[in-house]
Amino acid sequence: MISKVLTSAVMGIDAYQVEVETHIEGNVPFFTIVGLPDNAVRESRERVVAAIKNSGFRFTHQKRITINLAPADIKKEGSAYDLPIAVGILAALGEIPQSKLNDYLILGELALDGTLRPVHGSLSIAVQAEKDAVAGMILPKENAVEAAMGSPKTDVYPMESLLDVVNFLSGALDMEPLKINPDDLFARQQKSPLDFQDVKGQEHVKRAMEVAAAGGHNLIMVGPPGSGKTMLAKRFATILPPMTLEEAIETTKIHSVAGLIPVDQGLVAERPFRSPHHTISDAALVGGGKFPRPGEVSLAHHGVLFLDELPEFKKNVLEVMRQPMEDAKVTISRAALSLTYPANFMLVAAMNPCPCGYFGDPNHACSCSAPQIQRYRARISGPLLDRIDIHVEVPAVNFKELSSERKGEPSEKIRQRVQQARNIQVERFKRVRNVYCNADMLPRHLAKYCHLNTESKDLLSTAINKLGLSARAYDRILKVARTIADLAQSETIESPHISEAIQYRSLDRDLWI
Give tens-digit pLDDT for 147-197: 988 878 899 999 999 999 999 999 888 999 998 877 776 666 666 788 898
- Identify whether residues 174 and 238 lie together within a single domain: no
For the chain, the domain total comes to 2
Q: How many CB atoms lie within 10 A of CB 94?
A: 10
- Contact in structure between 300 and 345 (CB atoms under 8 Å): yes
Query: Is it the case that residue 66 has pLDDT exceeding 80?
Result: yes
- pLDDT tens digits, residue range 198-239? 888 889 999 999 999 999 999 999 999 988 899 999 999 999
Distances (CA, A) of 86 to 45, 47, 96, 163, 449: 9, 9, 11, 11, 61
| Residue 194 forms part of a structural domain | yes
Predicted local distance difference test score (pLDDT) of residue 335: 66
Which comes out higher in pLDDT, residue 509 or 59?
59
Predicted local distance difference test score (pLDDT) of residue 505: 86
Predicted local distance difference test score (pLDDT) of residue 511: 43
Distances (CA, A) of 166 to 16, 117, 385, 478: 24, 16, 59, 64
- pLDDT tens digits, residue range 307-316? 999 999 999 9
d(CA 135, CA 155): 6
Query: Is it the case that residue 427 has pLDDT exceeding 70?
Result: yes
Predicted local distance difference test score (pLDDT) of residue 188: 64
Provide the 8-state DSSP code for 493: B
Query: Is it the case that residue 491 has pLDDT exceeding 80?
Result: yes
- Identify whether residues 232 and 379 lie together within a single domain: yes
Distances (CA, A) of 444 to 57, 313, 426, 447: 69, 34, 18, 6
- Contact in structure between 401 and 200 (CB atoms under 8 Å): yes
Band of residue 421 on the pLDDT scale cut at 50, 70, 90:
very high
3-state secondary structure of 245: helix
- Identify whether residues 97 and 124 lie together within a single domain: yes
Band of residue 297 on the pLDDT scale cut at 50, 70, 90:
very high
Distances (CA, A) of 243 to 97, 130, 187, 192, 267: 44, 23, 10, 13, 11
Q: What is the CA radius of gyration of the chain?
A: 28
Predicted local distance difference test score (pLDDT) of residue 29: 79
| Residue 349 forms part of a structural domain | yes
Which comes out higher in pLDDT, residue 320 or 399?
320
Q: Among the three residues 417, 438, 459, which one is the final residue of a domain in this structure?
A: 438
Q: Among the three residues 125, 145, 180, which one is the final residue of a domain in this structure?
A: 180
Per the confidence metrics, is the pTM higher than 0.85?
yes
d(CA 157, CA 177): 5
- Identify whether residues 138 and 208 lie together within a single domain: no
- Contact in structure between 139 and 124 (CB atoms under 8 Å): no
Predicted local distance difference test score (pLDDT) of residue 512: 41
The CATH number linked to 262 is 3.40.50.300
- As a 3-state breakdown, the chain gives helix, strand, coil percent values, each rounded to 5, of 40, 20, 40
Query: Is it the case that residue 494 has pLDDT exceeding 80?
Result: yes
Predicted local distance difference test score (pLDDT) of residue 73: 85
Domain hosting residue 136, numbered range: 2-180
| Mean confidence (pLDDT) of the chain | 89
- pLDDT tens digits, residue range 339-394? 889 999 999 999 999 999 888 888 888 889 989 998 998 888 888 888 899 999 99
Written as one string, the DSSP assignment of 322-362 is HHHHHHSEEEEE-SS-EEEEE---EEEEEE-SSSSS-TT-T
- Identify whether residues 157 and 200 lie together within a single domain: no
- Contact in structure between 248 and 254 (CB atoms under 8 Å): no
Provide the 8-state DSSP code for 125: H
| Residue 477 forms part of a structural domain | no
| Residue 504 forms part of a structural domain | no
- pLDDT tens digits, residue range 465-486? 887 777 778 888 999 999 999 9
- Identify whether residues 194 and 118 lie together within a single domain: no
- Contact in structure between 486 and 214 (CB atoms under 8 Å): yes
Predicted local distance difference test score (pLDDT) of residue 189: 61
- Identify whether residues 175 and 203 lie together within a single domain: no
d(CA 114, CA 340): 36
Query: Is it the case that residue 492 has pLDDT exceeding 70?
Result: yes
- Identify whether residues 197 and 311 lie together within a single domain: yes
- Identify whether residues 40 and 160 lie together within a single domain: yes
Residues 6+ apart with CB under 8 A from 172: none
Residues 6+ apart with CB under 8 A from 397: 200, 201, 202, 227, 228
| Residue 488 forms part of a structural domain | no
| Residue 473 forms part of a structural domain | no
- pLDDT tens digits, residue range 235-261? 999 999 988 888 988 999 999 998 888
| Residue 509 forms part of a structural domain | no
- What amino acid is encoded at 380 in this protein? I
Q: Quote the Cα angle for 238-243-248, to 5°.
A: 125
- Identify whether residues 263 and 169 lie together within a single domain: no
- Identify whether residues 236 and 354 lie together within a single domain: yes
3-state secondary structure of 444: helix
- Identify whether residues 72 and 25 lie together within a single domain: yes
Q: Among the three residues 129, 161, 180, which one is the final residue of a domain in this structure?
A: 180
Distance of CA 445 to the CA centre of its chain: 28
Distances (CA, A) of 467 to 208, 223, 503: 20, 21, 11
The CATH number linked to 26 is 3.30.230.10
| Residue 502 forms part of a structural domain | no
- Specify the range with the lowest mean pLDDT, choosing from 321-330, 421-430, 483-492: 321-330
